[in-house]
Amino acid sequence: MTSDDTKELRDTMRSFFTEQAPVRSQLADEPSIWKRVATELGLTGLAVPEAQGGSGATFADLAVVLEEAGRSLLRAPLLSTAVAAVVLADAGADDLLPGLLDGSGSAAFVTAADSPVADAAGSTLLLVATSDVLHAVETAAVSVTPLEAMDPTRPLARVQLGSASGRALGPSAYAIDILHVALAAESVGAARRVLEMTVDYLKVREQFGRPLGSFQALRHRIADLTVELDAATSTAWYAARAAANRAPDLSVVAPLAKAVAQDAFTHIAGEAIQLHGGIGFTWEHDAHLYFKRAWTTALLHGDSRTLRRTAFARAGM
């Protein structure tokens, strides 16, 4: 894709998610949104080769879509399903793809024993990373118990694999890497949105007879958050291109991208509440939804310290 194409994709996705799937529509399951995302727009197969039933776009394009979905804190399991589709296509497991590509099914990733699993309830397929091998397991073959999640926009469930047998798809490293890249993209998109909301608020909210945004103490905090976010976004985009090109340094930048993205997101979402003052602490305001998504992302699929250590070790340092 040229940069013009990327911009067009971004603009299209921005209007779609803003208009058809705004943040407040994410608090409960809305099958109509999933139908539009998966069945009508075919986004779950975006980065699957055409020969395998997908759209043949790159992982970098998928990252753009996930960034835009992140702005709305999309609840539907687009991220997990689209990444799973890439993994399955890569492993040649074409027979498992159709349900994911037409939206009749969805997928979730189980990357740690005993961890709550995002998007597992209602899914049809689980990709389970045990030691170094990735297995595909039918969700129907295992026990899935929905949990009440702190983040109302990302459903969690307890998964007990029991004695279910899965189908070995090969090494798990690539799948986990691109899952991390996808989460990084989603996080920087969401972080950008909540930062924008905060800046907008600082422009209109007046105290001491002037807009809050004219106080240098606050302007400088916004600038520092911007720097942190721009850096995290650069790493996320670099990692998305590495995923698209199967670059040798994907294994280094993927965990790094998730670490810096979730650090930026948790920091920015926390500051967003603070800078909004009392209103930011209310259920009515969206700030807490971003804050909860940020922390859920940071808590699942690898904490920042471990991810950075992994990246450092893989870089041969």
Interface contacts to another protein, rule CB under 8 A: 3, 7, 199, 202-203, 210-211, 213-216, 219-220, 222-224, 226-227, 230-235, 237-238, 252-253, 256, 259-260, 305, 308-309, 311-312, 315, 317
Report the residue number, 144 or 222, with the smaller CB distance to another protein: 222
**CB 232 to another protein: min, Å:** 7
Residue 77: closest CA among 15, 129, 139? 139
**CB 222 to another protein: min, Å:** 6
Report the residue number, 24 or 220, with the smaller CB distance to another protein: 220
Report the residue number, 208 or 283, with the smaller CB distance to another protein: 208
Report the residue number, 50 or 196, with the smaller CB distance to another protein: 196
**CB 112 to another protein: min, Å:** 21
Report the residue number, 164 or 222, with the smaller CB distance to another protein: 222
- Give the Cα separation of 292 and 148 in Å (integer): 13
Residues 6+ apart with CB under 8 A from 10: 64, 67, 68
**CB 239 to another protein: min, Å:** 8
Report the residue number, 215 or 295, with the smaller CB distance to another protein: 215
**CB 3 to another protein: min, Å:** 6
Report the residue number, 293 or 314, with the smaller CB distance to another protein: 314
Report the residue number, 134 or 229, with the smaller CB distance to another protein: 229
Q: What is the largest CA-CA distance in the chain?
A: 67
**CB 230 to another protein: min, Å:** 5
Residue 261 has, within 13 A of its CA and on its CB side, a CA count of 33
- Note whether 119 and 106 are within 8 A (CB): yes
Burial class (CB in 10 A: 0-12, 13-18, 19+), 183: buried
267-272 long-range contacts (CB < 8 A, ≥24 apart) are 267/225, 267/228, 268/191, 268/194, 268/195, 268/198, 268/225, 268/228, 268/229, 268/294, 269/190, 269/191, 269/194, 269/293, 269/294, 269/295, 270/294, 271/198, 271/221, 271/225, 272/194, 272/195, 272/197, 272/198
Sheet with strand 117-118: strands edge to edge: 117-118, 156-160, 143-147
- Name beta bridge partners: 30: none
- Note whether 259 and 218 are within 8 A (CB): no
Burial class (CB in 10 A: 0-12, 13-18, 19+), 150: middle
**CB 120 to another protein: min, Å:** 31
**CB 209 to another protein: min, Å:** 11
Report the residue number, 36 or 205, with the smaller CB distance to another protein: 205
- Give the Cα separation of 20 and 230 in Å (integer): 27
**CB 271 to another protein: min, Å:** 14
